[in-house]
Structure 1
Amino acid sequence: MILLQVQQVMRRFGADVLFDNVQMDIQDHARVALVGRNGAGKSTLLKMIAGETVPDEGQISMRKGLTIGYLAQDQGLDSHNTIWEEMSSVFAELHKLEAQMHQLEARLSDPAVIANEADYQQTLKTYDQVQTDFQQRNGYGYQAEIRGVLHGFQFEADVYDKSVTELSGGQKTQLALAKLLLEKRDLLILDEPTNHLDVETLTWLEGYLQSYTGALLIVSHDRYFLDRVVSEVYDLSHHDMVHYTGNYDQFVQKKAARIQAEWKHYEKQQAEISKLEDFVNRNIVRASTTKRAQSRRKQLAKMDRLERPDSDDKTAHFGFHAAKQSGNIVLTVKDAAVGYAGQILSEPDNLNVKKHEAVAIVGPNGIGKSTLLKSILGQIPFIKGQATFGTNVVTGYYDQEQKNLHDKKTVLSELWDEHPTTPEKDIRTILGSFLFTGEDVDKPINALSGGERARLLLTKLAMQNDNFLILDEPTNHLDIDSREVLEVALNDFDGTLLFVSHDRYFINQVATSVVEVSPSGTELFLGDYDYYLDKKQEQAEMAAAAESVAAASAAAANPVTSEAAAPDNRSKGQQSYQASKQQQRDKRKLERSVANLETKMTDLETQAAAIQEQMAQPEIFADSAKLQDLQQQLEAVNAEQAQAENDWTEQAEALEAFD
């Protein structure tokens, strides 16, 4: 059932059109992502759908009685209530029912009511009705529900009585989202809900949204988050919108295939246009051929010319290069402690970074990840230990707080002042590759957006030609396209990387190893983010199994239990641990297999569509031999696709059995 439709919607800013003829359907229980470059109009469209603004043209229609919850970007909760009072206010109707139940309970114990049989029975009947309604609406469980959501956002019982006014901006935003989740609207519209969330909270939120009963419409730069939550994507670009089915990864593949097909059609038409124009130019003045030339001219005039694909897209294109190579050992940190004013956040911290490695540092907010980077750079002293750099190591630093920029300078002077011997033309060219063109270079830095400041910092970093880049949250403020460009640039970098990031997709694309920071120090994982997650899960399983074995051993040591039973209990505990571990391995193997089959089915679907497109072309249709060859290819792809679907069904059912 369709909850909401966006029909031919347009938004203008003065004489400029931000987007036009936008169409969108949101079905019941849909999981929709809205993606596009910064400035494409995503937040503007969300505000229209949420009813905060109206379109310049077109209309937005919705099902009668539809309830919508909307979280704007960095929208904090504004309330003088305590945290618990604010969350509890969502259940005001339950509070009324609860009060009514207590009133009825008081009446049922009133001697006057008890003495009047008819009055007593009527009161009892009313009480049963109210109690049933209260129970069906989770009256006995709503407080546990509140505690569960608050716990997911890292709000524990000791802060429930804290006033919302005392919270930080990020905490107020998290609380606003928590309240929306508890309200259970039919459609939840979230604009960058992952801002200010650490990885643990993000993982919890993904799980919660996967089981959310209503529909979701989400704008997010967190591609890992989108991969796990959404099942369809609307791409807002070139002033219009294109719809894709699948998660973010599948969207990327399908969009690339579509653009490739568009280029093919465009180039084919351009060749045809060139051929027709050439004929007209050569034959229009000849009496014997002028009629044919005029016919070609009319054909050109009637032709529906295709636009050049991505003609209005601007993409940053840059790279990092090391002016000289470092030694094999780049950085060593041994048994260090980081923190402030004698308060240790993490200890012992150990790092051994070698040439050409890309090491990601992860951990919860406030654990000292950025502090560790600053201690390595000498900006904050280690409480214990020190950092030792290797031979010929030259460091470049990206500061997430963007303090390495001078607000009173212009974009051009910020770069040129550091490289005064470089010609202005070259400086402008470099800035252009980071999307600073024309009058952009004369903007004062204090007038730049967060994304523009991030690109300027990356420009400065690229010009330094360092061989060891230390990056603190480099993807903050960047749109998805800029993040992908940065990933390519870092993967092509001929130096070494050490970086802190909450962007799990980015870590997967760039990192060769992951270092987790915790109060008990650092732990190294020799793989990407998904590998790190697998290992953490294995560790949790082993810990749980060890507890089971310990419990069995403790039970065996109990005097009530015979001596002969103790070895048997330990054996059973060990067997239980091994069985649990094997079961988890089998489950992860099936999960990977199902994901691979889904990717394979998408690829085969794209191949089949491309073959069918070829078969529909007039020149192919007229060539029976070629047509037969393509038909055989199509049948082979269809057969492979059918087999993949069968395999997927079997393995998906097997995976469900684990649950």
Structure 2
Amino acid sequence: MILLQANDVMRRFGADVLFHNINLQVQDHGRTALVGRNGAGKTTLLKMIAGITTPDEGTISKVKNLSIGYLAQDQGLDSQNSIWAELDTVFAPLHEQEKEIRQLEEQLASLDTTSSQYQQVMTTYDRLQTNYKKEGGFEYESRMRGILTGFGFGEQYYNTPVNALSGGQKTKLALAKILLQAPDLLILDEPTNHLDMNVLAWLEDYLKSYQGALLVVSHDRYFLDHVVKDVYDLDNRTLVHYTGNYTQFTHHKQERLKAEWKHYDQQQKKIAKLEDFVNRNIVRASTTKQAQARRKQLEKMDRLERPSTDDKSIHFHFHSDKASGNEVLDVDHLKIGYENQVLAGPLSFAVRKPQRIGIIGPNGIGKSTLLKTILHRIPAISGTIKLGANLDIGYYDQEQQQLHTNKTVLDEVWDDHPEVPKKDIRSLLGSFLFVGDDVYKVVHDLSGGEKARLELTKLSFKPIDFLILDEPTNHLDIDSREVLESAINEFPGTVLFVSHDRYFINQVATDILDMQRDGVTHYVGNYDDYLAQGATAPTPTTTTPGSEKKATVSKGKQSYKQSKEQQRARRKLQRAVDSLEDQMGQLEEQQQAIEKKMAQPEIATDIGKLTDLQKQLDQLKKKSDEVELDWTEAAEKLEEFDQQH
């Protein structure tokens, strides 16, 4: 059953159209994602669907009495209540029923059990009790405890005033309250912000079993892969619907665009061929009728639009001027914190070239503090840190404190490299989507995403052999995250990073460090490998530096070797696909050449020559069919490889 439907919806901003021809359906129990680039209009569309705003054109219809819960980005609660009292307001109707039930119990206690009035009151009492049970009156407290626990609010938080919480905690509590309301349609705009991995895993499981429907916007691709079953892509100012999770959507979109280009190119070649025939033959008496027929064919043709997509994305790479030594970093019995207040430790681990190590752990454990301590920006409380000799270190700060708030975008980069011509600086900024007057924007006026791109701009300009990244995917849209992943995977140096983006970790990590208060545990592989090992993984312990280094180096080399072998295998499959595509193109050109030859007047009347050319054409078509079959098999193997890895 369709719960909600958008038909031909449009939104304008002045004379500009943000999006148009928007058609969307949300099914009962549906799990639907809305994806698209930053600025495409996803939040604007969600507000229309939630009934907060109305479309400029088109309609949004919904079933009668549909209850909708909408969580805006970073929407927090503002309340004088305690956490428990605030969530308890969701069940105000149940509390009214409780009062009625208590009043009836008092009335029954004062009546003669044999009287008719007693029987009447008892009938009302039974009806209320049944309804109270049906609406969850005996379960709501356990539901509250379960959801609060899932979001990391233990019993010690129950009496905490909501206004005493951090912004991130208020956002989590707002989501918890909406989940308790259990609306028929749950609309969530970036619900995974401020959630650590444990809470994300809990939320994914909760939403999978949620009885209502879900419509969600998220940059968390791992979350989308595990929760949604269909995807609407807001691309090129309109919506395209795909079935499947996020990874399946990306494959289907690539296939659709490839097919559209193929059909478009075929039609363009056909149009060029017809136009050429018309131009050459329209004035010749013997072929005028044929030319006129082809002209009519051109006029009646339903011409395909040139395929297009919102493909404006950053493009860059990290580079190094020299190769570092194998020993990049040794951390031994390190305790980190502030003013002798220990956040975590003792921590012991080693980093070796060319590992890409992801650090994970609960929020507040000190992951960012660890990176700053390694960089000597914060003093260590105890223990040792040994960096490799002559390292060129690049650091990405999630708080973006390395940027100068009063400088322009252009000066922020150019002041670091005054010897570089201005046009080269602007060219570099252009590759990070700072074009035109964007380069004269002042840093403090930039959005979080623009500041993130500016930091990456500065990193890409300098030589680096050890890259240290603190939550680098925050503020980046999905396309930019994928470009960053490619840049890291192509980087020949060593990478140590903190991230809660599980999809990102899966794409780039060769090793995982699971950080806890009292130590760190090393796992070989990416996030999925970490989960697979987690069931039998030892609790965090501090090993001796020598043994930890030996294990990390050997496992790291093995993991890196496996990663390289996978990359080689994929390149081999890709080369096979590309080669077959080239063959298909060459065969198509040969067929077109023969068809063009057969259309020549001097050959069109020569049966012998036409017969020979037709034989050649038949052979080429047969060969083309064989190559296309081989291409299909190769493309399927490549897709299967990508899904498995």
**TM-score with structure 1 setting the length:** 0.81
- 2:359 is equivalent to residue 349 of structure 1: no
Instruction: Determine the C-alpha separation between the residues in 1 that align with 2:443 and 2:264.
Output: 40
Instruction: Report the Cα offset of residue 116 of structure 1.
Output: 5.7
Query: Do the aligned residues in 1 keep the contact of 2:37 with 2:310 (CA within 8 Å)?
Result: no
SS in 2 for 1:409: coil
Matches within 5 A, 1:215-614: 215-282=213-280, 296-297=294-295, 299-310=297-308, 312-539=310-537
Gapped regions of structure 2 (runs ≥ 5): 540-591, 596-616, 641-645
SS in 2 for 1:538: coil
SS in 2 for 1:233: strand
What is the aligned partner in structure 2 of residue 28 from structure 1?
Answer: 28
Instruction: Report the Cα offset of residue 444 of structure 1.
Output: 1.7
- 2:100 is equivalent to residue 69 of structure 1: no
Query: Do the aligned residues in 2 keep the contact of 1:238 with 1:313 (CA within 8 Å)?
Result: no
SS in 2 for 1:75: coil
Instruction: Report the Cα offset of residue 269 of structure 1.
Output: 2.2
Instruction: Determine the C-alpha separation between the residues in 2 that align with 1:384 and 1:284.
Output: 90
Query: Do the aligned residues in 1 keep the contact of 2:235 with 2:309 (CA within 8 Å)?
Result: no
What is the aligned partner in structure 2 of residue 38 from structure 1?
Answer: 38
Instruction: Report the Cα offset of residue 273 of structure 1.
Output: 3.2
Task: Indicate which of 104, 124, 127 corresponds to 1:126.
Answer: 124
Instruction: Determine the C-alpha separation between the residues in 2 that align with 1:381 and 1:252.
Output: 45
- 2:15 is equivalent to residue 15 of structure 1: yes
Instruction: Determine the C-alpha separation between the residues in 2 that align with 1:540 and 1:118.
Output: 69
Matched to 1:81, the amino acid is N
Instruction: Report the Cα offset of residue 451 of structure 1.
Output: 0.8
Shift in CA distance, 129/247, structure 1 to aligned 2, threshold 3 Å: same
Instruction: Report the Cα offset of residue 426 of structure 1.
Output: 1.3
SS in 1 for 2:412: helix
Q: Indicate the larger mover: 338-347 or 191-200.
A: 338-347
Q: Deviations over 1:471-503 (max 9, x none)?
A: 000000001111111101110011110000000
Instruction: Determine the C-alpha separation between the residues in 1 that align with 2:492 and 2:369.
Output: 26
Instruction: Report the Cα offset of residue 157 of structure 1.
Output: 1.3
Instruction: Report the Cα offset of residue 185 of structure 1.
Output: 0.3
Shift in CA distance, 146/311, structure 1 to aligned 2, threshold 3 Å: closer
Matched to 2:265, the amino acid is E
Query: Do the aligned residues in 2 keep the contact of 1:325 with 1:392 (CA within 8 Å)?
Result: no
Query: Do the aligned residues in 2 keep the contact of 1:188 with 1:217 (CA within 8 Å)?
Result: yes
Matches within 5 A, 1:129-140: 129-140=127-138
Instruction: Report the Cα offset of residue 385 of structure 1.
Output: 1.4
Instruction: Report the Cα offset of residue 633 of structure 1.
Output: 6.6
Query: Do the aligned residues in 2 keep the contact of 1:367 with 1:517 (CA within 8 Å)?
Result: yes
- 2:3 is equivalent to residue 3 of structure 1: yes
SS in 2 for 1:337: strand
Shift in CA distance, 277/447, structure 1 to aligned 2, threshold 3 Å: farther
Query: Do the aligned residues in 2 keep the contact of 1:33 with 1:233 (CA within 8 Å)?
Result: yes
SS in 1 for 2:532: helix
- 2:87 is equivalent to residue 79 of structure 1: no
Percent identity among equivalent residues? 60
Instruction: Report the Cα offset of residue 416 of structure 1.
Output: 1.0
Q: Deviations over 1:562-596 (max 9, x none)?
A: xxxxxxxxxxxxxxxxxxxxxxxxxxxxxxxxxxx
Instruction: Determine the C-alpha separation between the residues in 2 that align with 1:412 and 1:271.
Output: 45
Query: Do the aligned residues in 2 keep the contact of 1:210 with 1:229 (CA within 8 Å)?
Result: yes
Instruction: Determine the C-alpha separation between the residues in 2 that align with 1:627 and 1:29.
Output: 49
What is the aligned partner in structure 1 of residue 643 from structure 2?
Answer: none
What is the aligned partner in structure 2 of residue 102 from structure 1?
Answer: 102
Task: Indicate which of 158, 161, 164 corresponds to 2:159.
Answer: 161
Instruction: Report the Cα offset of residue 64 of structure 1.
Output: 0.6
Instruction: Determine the C-alpha separation between the residues in 2 that align with 1:451 and 1:286.
Output: 63
Instruction: Determine the C-alpha separation between the residues in 2 that align with 1:493 and 1:298.
Output: 56
SS in 1 for 2:382: coil
Query: Do the aligned residues in 2 keep the contact of 1:376 with 1:386 (CA within 8 Å)?
Result: no
Instruction: Determine the C-alpha separation between the residues in 1 that align with 2:390 and 2:538.
Output: 41
Gapped regions of structure 1 (runs ≥ 5): 542-617, 645-659
- 2:171 is equivalent to residue 173 of structure 1: yes
Instruction: Determine the C-alpha separation between the residues in 1 that align with 2:622 and 2:24.
Output: 39
Instruction: Determine the C-alpha separation between the residues in 2 that align with 1:403 and 1:39.
Output: 25
Instruction: Report the Cα offset of residue 88 of structure 1.
Output: 0.7
What is the aligned partner in structure 2 of residue 48 from structure 1?
Answer: 48
Q: Deviations over 1:212-245 (max 9, x none)?
A: 0000000000000001100000000001111011
Query: Do the aligned residues in 2 keep the contact of 1:69 with 1:180 (CA within 8 Å)?
Result: yes
What is the aligned partner in structure 2 of residue 566 from structure 1?
Answer: none
Instruction: Report the Cα offset of residue 271 of structure 1.
Output: 2.3
Matched to 1:436, the amino acid is F
Shift in CA distance, 102/22, structure 1 to aligned 2, threshold 3 Å: same
Instruction: Determine the C-alpha separation between the residues in 2 that align with 1:270 and 1:633.
Output: 24
What is the aligned partner in structure 1 of residue 614 from structure 2?
Answer: none
Shift in CA distance, 394/340, structure 1 to aligned 2, threshold 3 Å: same
Query: Do the aligned residues in 2 keep the contact of 1:398 with 1:474 (CA within 8 Å)?
Result: yes
What is the aligned partner in structure 2 of residue 611 from structure 1?
Answer: none
Query: Do the aligned residues in 2 keep the contact of 1:236 with 1:242 (CA within 8 Å)?
Result: yes
Instruction: Determine the C-alpha separation between the residues in 2 that align with 1:539 and 1:193.
Output: 30
Instruction: Determine the C-alpha separation between the residues in 1 that align with 2:187 and 2:166.
Output: 23
What is the aligned partner in structure 2 of residue 214 from structure 1?
Answer: 212
Aligned Cα root-mean-square deviation (Å): 2.8
Instruction: Determine the C-alpha separation between the residues in 1 that align with 2:120 and 2:4.
Output: 44
Shift in CA distance, 8/627, structure 1 to aligned 2, threshold 3 Å: farther
Matched to 1:144, the amino acid is S
Instruction: Report the Cα offset of residue 283 of structure 1.
Output: 5.1
Q: Indicate the larger mover: 495-504 or 160-169.
A: 160-169
Instruction: Determine the C-alpha separation between the residues in 1 that align with 2:476 and 2:372.
Output: 22
Matched to 1:442, the amino acid is Y
What is the aligned partner in structure 2 of residue 92 from structure 1?
Answer: 92
Matched to 1:199, the amino acid is M
Shift in CA distance, 97/426, structure 1 to aligned 2, threshold 3 Å: same
Instruction: Determine the C-alpha separation between the residues in 2 that align with 1:354 and 1:173.
Output: 39
Instruction: Report the Cα offset of residue 303 of structure 1.
Output: 3.7
Instruction: Report the Cα offset of residue 452 of structure 1.
Output: 1.1
Instruction: Determine the C-alpha separation between the residues in 1 that align with 2:60 and 2:245.
Output: 25
Instruction: Determine the C-alpha separation between the residues in 1 that align with 2:190 and 2:448.
Output: 15
Shift in CA distance, 309/216, structure 1 to aligned 2, threshold 3 Å: same
What is the aligned partner in structure 2 of residue 587 from structure 1?
Answer: none
Shift in CA distance, 121/60, structure 1 to aligned 2, threshold 3 Å: same
**TM-score with structure 2 setting the length:** 0.82
Instruction: Determine the C-alpha separation between the residues in 2 that align with 1:210 and 1:359.
Output: 31
Instruction: Determine the C-alpha separation between the residues in 2 that align with 1:296 and 1:453.
Output: 56
Instruction: Determine the C-alpha separation between the residues in 1 that align with 2:201 and 2:309.
Output: 38
